[in-house]
Structure 1
Amino acid sequence: MKKPDLISELNTAINQNIIIEKNIKEIIDMSFKIFKKLFDEFGLELEKLCDFKYSSYYSKHKNIDLDLAIVKYFPKKDVKYKEFLEKILDTLKNLPYGYKIRKEQNDGYIAISQETSSKIINYRFIFLVRKKTKTGYCDYYNRNGIWQEDYALELTKSFSLANKISNGTLYKVKSLLNYVLKDQFKYNYGCDAILITWFYEFFSRSLNKYLDNKYNKKEKELDFVNFTKIKNLKKWFKYNIDINNLYYFIFTKIGETNTYYYPELSFEPLELFEGITRYSVNTNTFFKLPLSYFSHIKVFDLRNYQDVRLIQEMGGEEYGYSKKAWSKARDEDKRYFVSPFIISGPFNYAMFKKWYVLTSNSLFKTLPVEIKKDLNSLRQRESMEFLNMTGHNWISSYYAKLKYLQPYFDKKYPLIKERDLKVLIRMITTMVDKTKQSDWLLENDN
């Protein structure tokens, strides 16, 4: 009996159950071509970001929100932000009729909306300047008048490369996860950072075991150049990685900060209702914003001078390859070892700020009028408990949704025994559609 191709079956099952309307996709594709042609003529590159790049955005709501980056690559002189912005706005004046342009200068992006008979499509453009650095290059975003590092484009490209290695499963699982989240929080770069980090953690350790057993222990020579080609890593993944084990691992690890390769992942705890004094210490009111991710992996040959020099110069705990993996390989006298590369920094902070503030304001508006009044009175302590619970419920439900898919990949549960993956994915989408927001909350969790 032929062994089932779980990778192909999973990708097909998700494609058949989570569908972006053909006419909507055609409209979006046509708009991107129009935008890209305009900016090409002015020497600027246009790049899709995050779910726009992966075609994994949630499309069932009235509004579809898509992110893009306008990139100036390796300018010969310093870029003046206001001049850069004006050039972009002048470029956009050449758009055909039907697009509404809104400049959000204080927030660092430009928004363009497009209405169809059934949808409002919002395109939000951030501006990046790519410059050469000692270690390669870095993208910079103008935040409050200061050019600062931003890894939105790099994260998107890293995720796309990991998707190739995964034989397309990362894009599809991200699409499924977005279906579960249903735009509860429209800033999805944090999800990308989490998924790709634990993907490469699992993949690196699996590769390490393979290299140990087949090459290090037997002292065999590895065809290094050929083995590390993406097409061959993709093939190795297909025949050596159990995708149920992989994605169960990833969804189990959500929320954890310690990895095998690095002592700690970077997160920034952010208060949902910023500026309002809090009294409760038992509620979950801080959002953990991911600020690091694994961008790629590398197979090292410790008999190769260039590799040894690279790990010496580029080993790090917040940026670079794993010192722990290198140390372990040396201590155990291993020739080959694998390490992910960690990057720390923000990803499209402009969009995070927009959606986080909007979420906070929207939740605040749901409070009863009496509670809002009390927050500005001597009875603040009593009303604060209600506010605490509102924040706790939103954050708790969000993280519950992030981890929802875990049991569907767990071999200890009967769900995985469903041989028809199309039926299983339909089961997931149907159950999510029927689940009320209150059902995502854990009783007595406060």
Structure 2
Amino acid sequence: MRIRHISRWTTTGIAVLIAILAGCGKPASPPAATEPAATEPAATSPDLAGLQSPDEAAPAEWAGKELPSYMIPHIPQSAEAYYAPDNIHVIAQTKDPTAAQPEPGKIGGSLTFTYTDTGEELTRINDKGQDCSWFLPDGKGLIWTSTRDNLDMPPGNWSEETDYPQGAELYTSDLKGGNIKRLTNNKYYEAEVTTSLDGKWVFFGRQIDGKLDIWKMRIDGTDEQQLTFTADWQEGAPYPTPDGEHLIFRAWKSSDKLRINAEFKETGKRSQTPMTIFTMKTDGTDVQPRTFTKDMNWAPFIAPDGRHFFYDRVFEGNNWEVVMNDLAGGEPVQITYNKGFDGFVSISWDGKKLLFGRSIGSGFMSNIHTFVMDISSLNVGPENFKGSIPARAARPPGWVEDPGLADFGDRLGT
């Protein structure tokens, strides 16, 4: 593979505020611990009829640039997949007809499943509502969100923050979906749940009155603490860094969204929603921007080396690709090469494998399945972790700092 450094990004008008902006959803009151988990999905293998090869219509110059990858077999459409600490088992949002179905034209209809990255041991964790999820760091349990106990509320739309499914709650369970414990009890939208590396804290996004912020609480659901308080930024998708002291997350500004919507009404063309990737300490202080462009930087995931992070960029022609960058600054490196959509990236705990969702259907974001890429040659494993993450990213030459960063107040790092 020849690494491609990306020094120029297009800002072609595209429709980008789709399912992937939010990520996942939430539930409401838990079943009894003795309630059996549903373990058999309605369909265990994708319908491959009419699907295109990931390399179909790809430019000739892309040949051989992408590291080896394969689609996990025998699994329905899935995305937002994360590895267990054993680097074999995967937890993901997986299409299931028994899930609460979205209204026409809206995004949803998935439940939490676990399976191996070879497509075995397919297990449904929850059997109603809509979910998103994460492995506990000891590998012995799961944490997930679901609308399972608020099915009387509108199903909403995961792709539009003004219509996010409300009444999603946080739960823990064992690896089979049993021994369920409810952590939250409200009518909010709560999603994108992760935990600290020691398993003592839960990090998640919560929307109250249309405002998205990052929160944390203890693993038993006590001691809730709000971490972000900005008026304009919409923060979410917090992931722990290998030092255990920081989170990496993405945010966009409501003011940008309003401007883009107004332009769309006037011109019929929709531009990318600018998004910035940040880090902050787990107490919400020392907020540091890590990307420096005026377009979309979406869905970050940090590598176990504590230095590199992977995320999504949009190329000309509405082509979504996974890229890699350095927390210390610099130009991103393109990782996937595929006309269409690649996204929802995450890394195995040993830094050798990358999970990502790839659309293999004939339409944009149609038939998304989870792929595994061998990234062992990138040397981003824990053996290269130096004990801390870079304190600050170098700004590109001529970069003018976004005045909107002042919204973080005294929590903004220096």
Q: TM-score, normalization: structure 1? A: 0.27
Which structure's CA Rg is the greater one? 1
- Write 1 or 2 for the structure with the bigger share of helix: 1
Q: TM-score, normalization: structure 2? A: 0.28
- Write 1 or 2 for the structure with the bigger share of strand: 2
